[in-house]
Chains A and B, each alone.
Chain A
Amino acid sequence: MTHATADQHLISLRARPGLRERIDLPRRIVFAAAASTIVLVALLLVFISWQGIALFVRDGYTVADVLSPVWDPLAEGRPQFGLLPFIGGTIAVTGLALLFSTPLSVGLALFLSEVAPGWARAIVQPALEIFVGIPSVVWGWLGITILVPFLADISPRQISLSLPVMGEVFSMPGFLTGFSWLAGSLVLAVMILPTITSITYDSLRAVPQELRTGSLALGTTRWQTIRHILLPAALPGILTAIVLGMTRAAGEALAVQMVIGNAPVLPAAVTQPVTTLTSQITLDMGNTVFGEPWQDALWTMSLILLALSVASVVLVRVINRRRAAA
């Protein structure tokens, strides 16, 4: 209130603003530039949603058809578009990648923020920036030329573990070609490492220095301080990092497509080829015709990916709102 009256007072002292000031063209232009992002996102949501529901609206498939494990777009009579192999594959590949990447990334962020002397940080930080810059297709190519042959070499045949008394405790098929769930997850784990590391690092740096000195003054070791003070304090940031890493992994297309084997089956063993939403879209979009049910199924997959990324943005906001409230 007081601000408003002060402003009014000022305005009354000044000359009445001319037309030019009232229109304030620069302000309108910069606003239009900033607001273009909203228009863009709105258009994207509308177009992808419109295409994504065509499978149900135009082609007459039901949600139950889509939630089936059978993907047979070339079937005689009525093609089958069960999306479970793709949804399951995306969850499986992303989940395993997070399992590999999270401890490593959080460890690396702790190293950079709490342990590394200046010279070590001066080497590792630029290295991480180069990591971020390595293109997706290059990761895929590395996967194909190094990782996949390596996996095929270590165990092409049945992998099993037998103990003297218990007998066989564990058995799964071997890698055969090396194109597999594990290969996809390993490639993704490396790709999301910089994402998780940098966000975790920022949230560790944001923990006030007094908390560290206070804890150390009580006679704790550095690890006790990390374990009991820093990690809990930085938890919302770490969760944000994991969610964003997950989004990146689930949305990554080319690198995964190159190493995963692209078999539309439900993921059963890490040594076997599987497929994901993104890799199937990448593979099939060019071979289908606009408007046919097969392509509509691909649009439905895109809509699922889009919904996933919007959900992750909301999730990140919820995580951070809780921090702001606490």
Chain B
Amino acid sequence: MTAPARSLKGSTSRAVLVDRIATFVLWLTGAFVLLLLGSIVLHFLLAAWGVISPGFILGDPSDEALGGVLPVLWNSVYMLVLAMLISVPVGVLGGIYMAEYAPQNAVTGAIRFAQEAISSVPSIVVGLFGMILFVNTFRWGFTALGGALALTFFNLPLMTRLAEQALRSVPAEERNASLALGASKWQTIRHVVLPLAIPGLVTAVILTAGRVFGEAAVLLFTSGIGTPYHYDFANLSLTDPASPWSPFRPATTLSVYIWKLNSEGLGAHVREVVDGSAAVLIALVFFFNLGARGIGRLLTRRLTAS
């Protein structure tokens, strides 16, 4: 009577012990990842301390002195806006089709397959595709526009998918109510579904945009690897290759600049400049993420309250 009871108790306590160990190990993984991220952020805070100043952010690159990153930072923002000008409208419209119209058929299946395929294609290959198309076939050379279009290839499937999710999260009752009032399908989408989906759409835009800042492999062979030493922002020409406003000029972004500095290793202050640039890049990504959450939440509150 006692023997089996004891062995049962033994196996139970062993199971409890294993459970305790497993729980401990799982907590450890969580702590490890936090520690890793924390030390990375701390590392860049310390490394960028003394490098980042208004002069660094608003200054021009220099081979001798520390210099600044204004031209490449400008290019990052410029390319971001250019890429989003194309991918947001096309992505939202595509998302509308996938969420509101798409029937269960082969074409819809093919669109989904294409979306999955392009999200798994390495970004360097997307960049090479952009290079054949814009640099070699169209003979544009390295241009901001070519880079932005290549970024669009890379971003559009994500934007479309996120827009589709935002639209799908609008309750069906809203659509039914609108249709029951006699509105057409397009009127319903335009005046009921889209306004309700705005918080989700804004989050989608910010998340997609955040990826653009960090991307470099797509841009190496489409918008070029050079050092823009100085931009004359008073030159507002949209066609002059020397104008920072023109899409038809090479445009090295902050990420590409980091890669370039590292691979060439020239200049007296490479290490400081790269540390500072990396810190700026991380800060931008950080604010984009916070922004995506914050603005999404704010808009939800505003729009659902009114």
Contact = CB atoms under 8 A, between A and B. Distances in A.
Contacts of B215: 135-136
B19 A222 contact: yes
B134 to A, nearest CB: 12
Given A47-B133, A111-B27, A281-B124, A254 B259 contact: yes
Nearest to B89: A33
B114 A110 contact: no
B111 A35 contact: yes
Contacts of B7: none
Given A133-B210, A137-B214, A221-B16, 19 more contacts: A26-B189, A32-B93, A34-B111, A37-B111, A43-B129, A43-B133, A107-B29, A108-B30, A137-B278, A141-B278, A142-B43, A145-B271, A190-B36, A222-B19, A226-B22, A258-B259, A282-B124, A286-B221, A313-B117
Nearest to A115: B26
Interface residues of A, number: 84
Given A26-B186, A138-B258, A130 B286 contact: yes
Interface in B251-306: 255-256, 258-259, 262-263, 271, 274-275, 278, 281-282, 285-286, 288-289, 293
A34 B113 CA distance: 12
Given A48-B129, A290-B136, A36 B40 contact: no
B123 A253 contact: yes
Given A137-B216, A138-B281, A34 B160 contact: yes
22 contacts: A33-B89, A33-B91, A34-B102, A35-B107, A35-B111, A48-B125, A48-B132, A115-B27, A115-B30, A127-B33, A130-B289, A131-B37, A133-B286, A136-B255, A223-B15, A244-B120, A254-B216, A282-B220, A285-B221, A305-B124, A313-B117, A316-B116
A286 B225 contact: yes
B147 to A, nearest CB: 15
B118 A144 contact: no
Contact of B213 (A34, A135, A252): A135
A140 B30 contact: no
Contacts of A285: 128, 131, 220-221
A116 B30 CA distance: 9
A247 to B, nearest CB: 5
Contacts of A115: 23, 26-27, 30
- Give chain B's interface secondary structure class: helix
Given A126-B289, A258-B262, A278-B122, A37 B29 contact: no
Interface in A119-135: 120, 123-124, 126-131, 133-135
A137 B258 contact: yes
Interface string B124-155: 11101101110010000000000000000100
Nearest to A244: B120
A29 interface: yes
Contacts of B263: 258
Interface of A: 21, 24, 26-27, 29-38, 40-44, 47-48, 51, 104, 107-108, 110-112, 114-116, 120, 123-124, 126-131, 133-138, 140-142, 144-146, 190, 193, 220-224, 226, 244, 247-248, 250-254, 258, 278, 281-282, 285-286, 290, 299, 302, 305-306, 309-310, 312-313, 316
Interface residues of B, number: 86
Contacts of B49: none
A123 B34 contact: yes
B43 A141 contact: no
A253 B217 contact: yes
